[in-house]
Structure 1
Amino acid sequence: MICAHWSQALDRLAARHLKRELRLVERHGSVIVRDGRTLVNLASNDYLGLASDQRLIAAASAALERYGVGAGASRLLAGNFSIHEELEAALAEFKRAEAALVFSSGYATNVGILMALATPRDHLYLDELVHASIHDGARLSGARVERFRHADANDLERRLRENASRGARIVVTDGVFSMDGDLAPLPDLIAVCERHDALLVVDDAHGTGVVGPAGRGTAAHFGVENRVPVQMGTLSKALGGQGGFVAGSRQLIQFLIQRARSFIYSTGIAPVLAAAALEALRIAEGEEWRRETIKRQRERLASALAAKGYEVRGELEAPMLLVMMGEAEAALELARALETAGAYAPAIRPPTVPHGTSRIRLAPIATHTAEQIEAVIAAFPEKTR
């Protein structure tokens, strides 16, 4: 009976063009090899092109010799190494915060933060387009959850005014919305939070390393670093590795060490990954050309595809842009045409995005050549108006 239900669910997804498939990747970077073909890769979050950088490989290799492969235990038991604390100190300095704490993944970071900070007495206000990990962490916290209109500080203020809570009030937003390519209006959200004594949590997974001066993130871009009490980031996108982190006051970090279940009950991040992240952070801060290259590439893609008749979304400061296609079938057809022409950019479909808004997400990498970007543009057929 249960197996029949699984089969029926899979059939329904396939009929609606929403069934997902795993496909083998032989190698990745500015190009990706799949089924023996080399394709220009526009599907990665490796924005700065650091995942295969030889300096990260060397740092990881040295850590492998010193520490071994894994941490071997929770950080609170026997899995806390000097490289972990060195990385956390560097991340805190990078984010202009007092302290930082590293988790095993970005997903675990968001779930851990919200489960620790919010209780059933509290009220969470989420931008309606926040990442899935935030929705999951909010549900697991047991707090009352309310969603405000995307990037709408006025709607947030109305909800805070109308729904007084005896517990804490916590507002959560992405810094960069990765499926829409826009930035949260942090100055406006901060002003609302300060007026209503609400705690602001910013998930800056897609801003860290890419947005703002030296890639310090969305809060740095707006010049409000000292007014965002909880900044989340990831090591697995622009920094090219794996893991997540939160930066804030020393008191916040000490509280999370005691209460964040996804930190307490997880094996510490592998020392080799911590060493690679530390090196990536140094490179990201110092090599501005990587961010400048991404911006030029994104601007070229946006203008050229708009000229071909496509609806293109995304702010120039964000590292990605979206080609809107509407129905899932149309997005899948375009993704297949692009792959046939040598460009890899899968269709983004529900439930990742709302129904009727399927799209192609393009994320140029700093190590793409101008010729590769032009090849991607050429791979897009002229759109019938």
Structure 2
Amino acid sequence: MALKADLSALKDGYLRWEKEGNSPFFPVVQSNQGNTVTVEPHGDLIMFGSCDYLGLSQHPVLKRAAIEAIEQFGTNTYASQLICGHTRIHRSVEDRLSGMSDGRAAIMFPSGMSASQGVVATIASSEDVVINDRLAHSSLFMGSRLSGAEVRTFPHNSMKRLETVLRESAGKRRRIIVVDGLYSADGDYAPLDRITELAAAYDALTVVDEAHSFGSVGPNGLGVADHFGVFDKVDVVIGTMSKTLGSIGGFVLTHDWFERELRYMSPSYTSSRGSAPAVAAATLAALDLLDAEGDRLRRRLVENTESVTARLREAGCDLLNTRSHIVPVLVGSEDKTVAVAHWLRGRGVMVAPFVYPHVPAGSGRLRVGVSSRHTPEECEQLVASVTAAKKEFDF
């Protein structure tokens, strides 16, 4: 969601929790052994707080590919990609992404955030209107403001209000609808079937950030647009390598004309060095694994997710409207959410606490990231621990 600086939240919340010694933020990981991380001062914790949805970040094939790329190309690229280019590995990643998406042009960015900012800031201008879902990622709002376009919003997933804004914006050169495919704090999907219908009816462009869904959602693993069967109707798809692909970086899939505009004119691309060769190689290896094992891994992810969500709902937990491997457990107040997250770490389970201003005030939650790599026993420990915390803290 869009963020604004809130110094009172920093002083009265985050800094106070640090002083009290129960802050769950900025944990220091000493080592990583698959699904278990060693975090000071808690010791070994089962990781349920990450976005490593298919468990690829610890895969030996990715590690080996990264090491080999360092040996061949060194630890970084040379300068701006506009001037000094990138390696053949980077080009192979772009070619592979293009092939996965039926020939769409693909361009790698150094991060998902720079991709989101770059897309919106480049595609829109002062003659246009950018229409954001109010829970869209902060990077999309940042790009919207940088573009100089009029910025409008609609309540989360409200198609009635979106249509009203589209109708009211008839005089603009471009109307650009900007949404997440899968919302990272709520776990629900954008109704892209309906959004693309409205875009066609009102001659609007659609930009979809599939950061949390590319590789893990849809029959072809292309995200929520793939899930709804409308991938070909979305104008710009933004993705990241740092979630399902187990690497780092961002990418864009779009029409040829816009890919060239991004590559030559987007500051977050032209003024940034390309991803390290090791990162590009790990990404390419992850795409190979998705091609070979993606269907199996996604089925396993669904099984784990259904098991966890069913058991947590039986225990009376409020999981909002999640329909994905992002499982938010609503707690309520910021203080209680932080206390619960800290308590769970003391019992061997690490989840991600989301509090204001990253979610609306009073709607603090534990964000559980389920992975295909989690075992039934680990899922059982998660459910048992959260259920015990619910009784202990009454949420």
Shorter-chain TM-score bucket reads over 0.9
Q: Summarize the alignment of residues 320-331 of structure 1 with structure 2, pairs less than 5 Å apart.
A: 320-331=326-337
1:27 and 2:31 aligned = yes
| TM-score, length-scaled by structure 2 | 0.91
The 5 A counterparts of 1:1-385 are: 10-14=10-14, 21-28=25-32, 29-35=34-40, 37-287=43-293, 288-316=295-323, 318-380=324-386, 381=388, 382-383=390-391, 384=394
Residues 209 and 284, structure 1, Cα contact 8 Å, conserved in 2: yes
> How much has 1:79 moved relative to structure 2?
3.2
RMSD, aligned CA:
2.0
SS in 2 for 1:43: coil
CA displacement at 1:22 relative to structure 2: 2.1
Percent identity at matched positions?
A: 34
Deviation at 1:339, TM superposition (A): 1.1
Partner Cα distance (1:275, 1:174) in 2: 27
Deviation per residue, 1:13-44 (Å, 9 max, x gap): 34886987422111344122101611111110
Kept after mapping to 1: 8 A contact 2:187/2:321 = yes
- Separation in 2 of the partners of 1:152 and 1:177? 14
CA–CA distance in structure 2, aligned partners of residues 12 and 340 of structure 1: 24
3-state SS of 1:325 partner: strand
Aligned equivalents of 1:197 and 1:105: distance in 2? 30
Query: Structure 2 regions of 5+ residues with no counterpart?
Result: 1-5
Secondary structure of 2:119's aligned partner? helix
Q: Counterpart of 2:40 in structure 1: which amino acid?
A: D
Report the CA distance between 1:177 and its aligned residue: 0.5
Distance 1:312 1:31, change over 3 A: same
The answer (yes or no) to whether the contact 2:51–2:244 under 8 Å persists in 1 is yes
Question: What is the CA distance between 1:314 and its match in structure 2?
Answer: 4.3
Task: Please say if residues 96 and 225 of structure 1, whose CA atoms lie closer than 8 Å, have aligned partners that are also in contact.
Answer: no
Letter in 2 for 1:33: T
Give 1:280's aligned amino acid.
A
The number of residues matched between the two structures is 379
Map of 1:3 onto structure 2: none
Aligned equivalents of 1:20, 1:376: Cα separation in 2: 17
CA contact (8 A) 2:24 2:341 kept: no
CA deviation map 1:22-73 (0-9, x unaligned): 2211134412210161111111011110111100011111211211110121
Partners of 1:82 and 1:364 lie apart in 2 by 34
Decide whether aligned partners of structure 1 residues 378 and 189 sit closer, same or farther in structure 2, where only a CA change above 3 A counts.
Answer: same
Change (3 A) 1:300 1:156: same
Amino acid of the residue matched to residue 115 of structure 2?
Answer: T
Q: Secondary structure at the match of 2:307?
A: helix
3-state secondary structure, aligned to 2:206: strand
Residue pair 1:123, 1:165 contacting (<8 A) in 2 also: no
SS of residue in 1 equivalent to 2:57:
coil
Partners of 1:33 and 1:292 in 2: CA distance: 29
